C-alpha cells in the first residue's frame, strides 16, 4: 500500500509546517486523471499522498455494476464512503501534508440517478461541506475521439459521447468551488500532463513540488 500511495521524492521541509489539504483531480472518463496521478507520485515529494480512484477499487474488487436505480445508488454511496475513508486515513497518518485525490466526493453527483438533494440526504452531508473540504479542484476535460478518447481501460464503459456528458455533469457538481481550474485536452497528452503539473505545483508548498 505504501508504495502505491506516496510521492517518491524527499524534500527539506518538515510536514508539520504545512496544514493538511486535499486537491481533487476530476473530469469525465478518459480525461487522464489516473495517468496524471501516477506522474504526481514520481515527481512530487513523500509528503504528498496520491489517492487511487475509489470507483476503480470498488468495481475491480467485484462490486455489482448494475444499471438499476437501486444499483447505481448503492454503488455511489459505497464510493463516497471509500473516498471519505481514504482521505481520513492519510490525514490521520500525520506524515502527509497534501492528498491528491483521483476524483472527490462530489463526483458522485454526476452518476447519481436521482436529485442532488437526495444525494446529500443519503450521505448526510451538503454541497458546501464537501466543497470546503478541498483546497483546489483541477478539472481535466474529457477528449473527443479524435483527440484520444478510447476504451483501453477495462473499467471504462462509456462511449465518447456519454463520457462528454458525464464531464459536463461533473463540471456542474463542483460549481461554486473558489479554486477550480480547467485543463483542456491537447493533441499531445504530455502537454496536458505538463499543464496539470503547473497547477498542482502552484497549489502545494514549494518544497514539495
Burial (CB < 10 A; 0-12, 13-18, 19+), residue 67, is: exposed
Q: Is the pLDDT reported for residue 152 higher than 80?
A: no
Q: What is the pLDDT of residue 1?
A: 41
Rounded to the nearest integer, the mean pLDDT of the chain is: 89
What mean pLDDT do residues 172-197 have?
94
Q: Which of 29, 37, 31 lies closest to 183 in space, CA to CA?
A: 31
Model confidence at 117, in pLDDT bands (50, 70, 90)? Answer: very high
Q: What is the pLDDT of residue 2?
A: 43
Task: Return the C-alpha cell found at 100.
Answer: 491528491
Model confidence at 107, in pLDDT bands (50, 70, 90)? Answer: very high
Query: CB count, 10 Å around CB of 51?
Result: 24
Q: What is the pLDDT of residue 148?
A: 59
Q: Is the pLDDT reported for residue 15 higher than 60?
A: no
Indicate the pTM of the whole model.
0.89
Burial (CB < 10 A; 0-12, 13-18, 19+), residue 90, is: buried
Distances 115 to 129, 162, 173, 209 between C-alpha atoms, Å:
18, 19, 12, 39
Task: Return the C-alpha cell found at 162.
Answer: 456519454
Q: Where are the domains of the chain?
A: 2-208
Q: What is the pLDDT of residue 64?
A: 93
Q: What is the pLDDT of residue 5?
A: 65
Q: What is the pLDDT of residue 17?
A: 60
Span 56-89, pLDDT tens digits: 999 999 999 999 999 999 999 999 999 999 999 9
Class of domain 2-208 as given by CATH? alpha beta
Model confidence at 162, in pLDDT bands (50, 70, 90)? Answer: confident
**Pairing relation of β-strands 136-140 and 180-183?**
parallel
What percentage of residues in the chain have a pLDDT greater than 90? 67
Interatomic CA distance for residues 31 and 35, integer angstroms: 9
Amino acid at each position: 500500500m505504501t508504495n502505491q500511495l506516496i510521492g517518491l521524492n524527499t524534500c527539506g521541509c518538515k510536514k508539520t509546517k504545512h496544514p493538511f489539504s486535499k486537491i481533487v483531480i476530476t473530469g469525465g472518463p478518459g480525461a487522464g486523471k489516473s495517468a496524471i496521478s501516477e506522474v504526481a507520485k514520481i515527481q512530487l515529494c513523500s509528503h504528498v499522498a496520491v489517492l487511487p480512484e475509489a470507483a476503480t477499487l470498488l468495481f475491480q474488487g467485484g462490486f455489482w455494476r448494475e444499471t438499476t436505480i437501486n444499483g447505481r445508488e448503492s454503488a455511489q454511496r459505497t464510493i463516497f464512503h471509500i473516498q471519505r475513508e481514504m482521505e481520513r486515513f492519510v490525514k490521520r497518518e500525520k506524515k502527509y501534508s497534501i492528498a491528491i485525490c483521483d476524483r472527490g466526493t462530489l463526483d458522485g453527483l454526476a452518476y447519481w440517478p436521482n436529485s442532488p438533494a437526495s444525494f446529500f440526504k443519503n450521505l448526510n452531508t451538503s454541497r458546501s461541506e464537501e466543497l470546503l473540504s478541498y483546497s483546489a479542484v483541477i478539472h481535466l476535460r474529457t477528449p473527443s475521439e479524435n483527440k484520444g478518447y478510447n476504451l483501453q481501460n477495462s473499467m471504462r464503459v462509456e462511449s465518447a459521447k456519454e463520457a462528454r456528458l458525464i464531464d459536463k455533469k461533473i463540471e456542474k457538481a463542483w460549481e461554486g468551488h473558489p479554486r477550480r481550474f480547467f485543463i483542456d485536452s491537447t493533441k499531445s497528452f504530455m502537454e496536458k500532463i505538463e499543464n496539470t503539473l503547473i497547477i498542482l505545483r502552484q497549489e502545494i508548498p514549494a518544497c514539495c513540488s
